[in-house]
Structure 1
Amino acid sequence: MTSPGFARPEGPKAGTIATEFTAVAYPNPFAESFAINVKTSMESPINVKVYDMTGRLLESREVAVSDAETLAIGERYPSGVYNVIVTQGDEAKTLRVIKR
C-alpha cells in the first residue's frame, strides 16, 4: 500500500524470465540498403515491417534472428524517412531510418 502521491516501483513479476531484445538499423542514414542488428535471448523468428511516413506498409518479412543482419532492406525505396518495426513475441522496437 502506498500513500496518495507516492508510487512504488514494481520489479519483474514472480515466475517471469527477463528477456533481452534490442534492434539497431545500420547504416543510418543509408544510400542503398540497411540491415538490422538484433540482440535477443529468444530463438523465435523476428518480424520486420517497414512503413513510409504516410503509414503505408512497404515491406514485411519474417526471418530467423541469425539472418537479420544479412537482409538488404530498402534497395528500391525512394529517398525519404521510414519507420521500421521489429517484433519478436511480445517485444517490439520502432526504428526510424533515412534514405539519402
Structure 2
Amino acid sequence: MHEIHEDNNIGWRVIGKSEFTTGVEERPPIEHSRNGEYMTKSYPNPFSGSFTITYENTLPGPVSLQVYDSRGRLVYSRGEEHQSAGMHTMEVSGTQLPPEVYYYHFSNGNVTETRKIVKH
C-alpha cells in the first residue's frame, strides 16, 4: 500500500499475512527397531576427522547415505548397497570437509531418516 503523509513524505506498508521460517525442527531418532525400521546413531558428534553411523535393519534390503552441508549441497554419497538384517556400521571420512553443520540422509529402502551432525 502506498501512502503520502502530510509533510509530503512517501511511505510503503505491506498488508497481508507473511510466513517466515524461524528455525528447523530436528526429529528425534527412532527409539526402537520394528517393522523394517532402523535406528541410527552417529558418533562422535561433533566430529573432527570421521564419524560412524550405527544402525539396525530388521529386514534385508538396500541402504544408502548422503551428507549435505548447511546450504543443501551434496558433499558425500554412498550409493545403494544390499545389506542383510541386523546391526551395521558405516564410517564416513570428513577430513576434507570444513567445520560446519551437516545433515546426513540415511535410507534402508523402507524408512528414511535425516539427522544433524557437526564438524568442529
| Structure 2, gaps ≥5 residues long | 1-33
Q: What percent of counterpart residues are identical?
A: 30
In the alignment, is residue 35 of structure 1 matched against residue 52 of structure 2?
Answer: yes
| Structure 1, gaps ≥5 residues long | 1-16
The structure in which a higher percent of residues are strand is 2
In the alignment, is residue 88 of structure 1 matched against residue 108 of structure 2?
Answer: yes
Using the size of structure 2 for normalisation, the TM-score is 0.61
How far off its partner does 1:72 sit?
A: 3.0
SS at match of 2:107: strand
In the superposition, relative to structure 1, how do residues 70 and 86 fare at CA in structure 2: closer, same or farther (>3 Å)? closer
In the alignment, is residue 46 of structure 1 matched against residue 63 of structure 2?
Answer: yes
How far off its partner does 1:70 sit?
A: 4.5
How far off its partner does 1:42 sit?
A: 1.7
Look at both structures and tell me which one has the larger radius of gyration over its CA atoms: 2
The structure in which a higher percent of residues are helix is 1
More relative contact order in 1 or in 2 (CA 8 Å, sep 6+)?
1
Using the size of structure 1 for normalisation, the TM-score is 0.72
Aligned residues: 84
